Amino acid sequence: MAFYDRMFNGLGLRDWCGNAGADSSMSMADLLAQANPSAEVNGPVFPFPSLDALNDACPAIPPSRDFVASVETGFLAIKDGLKLVLDPLTQPLSWMLEFALLAVESVPWWLMLPVLFVLVWYASRSKPVTIFVVLVFAFLGFVDHLDAAMQTLSIVLVCTGISILFGVPIGIAMAKSNGFQRAILPVLDLLQTLPTFVYLIPLIFLFSVTEPKLYGIAIIVYAIVPVIRLTDLGIRLVDRDVLEAANAFGMSAPQKLWGVELPLALPNIMAGVNQTIMMSLAMVVIASLVSAPGLGVLVLRGIRNLELGVGLVAGLGIVLLAVVLDRVSKAALARVSATHKHH
């Protein structure tokens, strides 16, 4: 790091820096350089001014491992306070997930499946979709994956319902306030681009692995973004002329929202719900790493034990469940759109 040695010397900071390497532990790069001195000669003349490169020339500057350690120390310092606030707020989520899982485990299949098929018919009003759902669950039962599939489905439905419950109001607030939209958009961008495994890291430190809210929060935070974005978009796309007509009739803001804006934005909102369902299903498989039951556990077992058949059949079950949820939600969207056009 001769370049930075000369730079700190030229700036008169050598006394502040101290002797290079005097107070810092030797890195792997230093050990390799000692083992192969020619590597230093062939190295870059002007290396990127990273923390490690600057630390080699000036031990007063902390290396990157200290920066990473400070992030962990900072999180651990606020962990107890966060847990004290989040525990009571998120406990209802644990109760809801536990109740949903208990329900699908306790209700016999000959009662549970007919109720499910009736709900599918009511939502879609489509014979092909209903028949497809019947065939999919018959196949899952035939290969003894019905219990795991119902566990996955119950978690997805609970987390999707909560995502809609919170996401739609947030989307409405974004549509009504440009300032609020500008403040929320960076958060949504972060949530949408953050790798799925990263969602689990802070939650593992905050909650016990045995608590359903650990994976429930991860699923909700990951899946809530589409319904927020498309609710905001749908309301903003409402025709201005229609709103002016509503104003001319003397409608109040709540009346315009419930009577004009939400009905016109409903196709977009339903599209957001569809995407939220798909993202919930994707995350519930990842969440099997932190005790989320269902088909994801079988996929994880196939990976850990190199059981090809177990992993592939469970993966096929997840694909079929995703297709079922997608077809039912799209059929419901088409029915809602047709009803809206008739009115």
Q: List Cβ neighbours of 156 (8 Å cut-off, separation of 6 or more).
A: 219, 277, 280, 281, 284, 325
Give burial (CB, 10 Å; 0-12/13-18/19+) of 281.
Answer: buried
pLDDT of residue 18: 74
242-255 confidence digits (pLDDT tens): 888 888 888 888 88
299-313 confidence digits (pLDDT tens): 999 988 989 999 999
Domains of the chain (ranges; CATH) run 2-62 (no CATH), 73-342 (1.10.3720.10)
Give burial (CB, 10 Å; 0-12/13-18/19+) of 13.
Answer: middle
18-59 confidence digits (pLDDT tens): 765 444 455 555 555 556 655 444 555 677 888 888 888 888
pLDDT of residue 196: 83
Contact 104/154 with Cβ under 8 angstroms?
Answer: yes
**Is the sign of the CA dihedral 336, 277, 275, 88 positive or negative?**
positive
**Is the sign of the CA dihedral 222, 226, 231, 237 positive or negative?**
positive
Q: Which residues of the chain have pLDDT under 50?
A: 21-24, 39-41
